[in-house]
Amino acid sequence: MTTPKLKYLIWFTALVVILACGPTIATPFPTADPNEINTIIAQTANAALTQTSAALPTATFTPTLTPTRPSPTASPTATSTVVFILSTPTMQVVPTFTFISNTGGGSGSSGSSSAKYACQVLSVSPPNGTSMDKNTDFDANWSVKNIGQKTWDRNSVDFIYFSGAKIHKVAGYDLNSNVTSGSTTTLGVDMIAPKDSGNYSTTWTLRVGDNDFCKMSITINVK
């Protein structure tokens, strides 16, 4: 910025130069002292610098903040772990099945019973469906087991015809001996094949009092 005093100084200096270079006028001006001119110029320049400095704003130091970046923290890396789970074999108990033949139409009990009187028919002979000639004599035999709680007393337990074809010769029998619980016996009936062809079934039973507790059947085919 140019101050008024500086402008005056410039114009004054320019005037001095013009006058110095111009032709000599008849009436000479008094000779200026060079030292005085230099002094004026120096004073004027100092005054201009002082005013310029005063006009300038005072610089205030403002600290510059440098952002500090936090150091990155390493994240833990997950490591895959393979876990093998081995199943423990479970021992399986295979149940043991006991085949119980119901051939002959027995009571169907399975080896034991809480009843006083019960039986299990084990087999029949001849087998069901056997073919035979007309008027043929044969014996039907059942193997039975006492699975009840009481003994079959030969004096109180009877073996008698129950239903079906009447192909027997005698309708009832006594037991040959007592049959204790858990024991097996064979019950036989004397029979004869009918005179006519066809299939014939007959059923017999053990009876104590009015209780029929062991029914057994047989079927034959007459040619």
Q: What's the rounded Cα separation, in Å, for the pair 139 and 214?
A: 19
Whose tokens are 């079934």? That residue is 201
| Interval 117-171: pLDDT, tens | 999 999 999 999 999 999 999 999 999 999 999 999 999 999 999 999 999 999 9
Residue 112 pLDDT: 77
Whose tokens are 């104590």? That residue is 208
DSSP 120-158: EEEEEESPTTEEE-TT-EEEEEEEEEE-SSS-B-TTTEE
Nearest to 209 by CA among 168, 167, 155: 155
Q: Which fold has domain 119-222?
A: Immunoglobulin-like (2.60.40)
How many angstroms separate the Cα of 176 from the Cα of each of 38, 47, 142, 157, 173? 173, 163, 14, 11, 9
Q: What is the DSSP letter of 85?
A: -
User: Binning pLDDT at 50, 70 and 90, where does residue 99 land?
Assistant: very low
Beta strands (DSSP E) in 77-210 are 119-125, 130-132, 137-146, 157-164, 172-174, 184-192, 198-208
Residue 21 pLDDT: 56
Average pLDDT over every residue of 188-216: 97
| Interval 33-76: pLDDT, tens | 556 655 665 565 555 555 545 555 554 444 454 545 555 555 55
HSE at residue 193, side-chain half, CA atoms within 13 A, is 21
Q: 15 pLDDT exceeds 60?
A: yes
Contact partners, residue 157, CB within 8 Å, separation at least 6: 117, 175, 179, 206, 207, 208
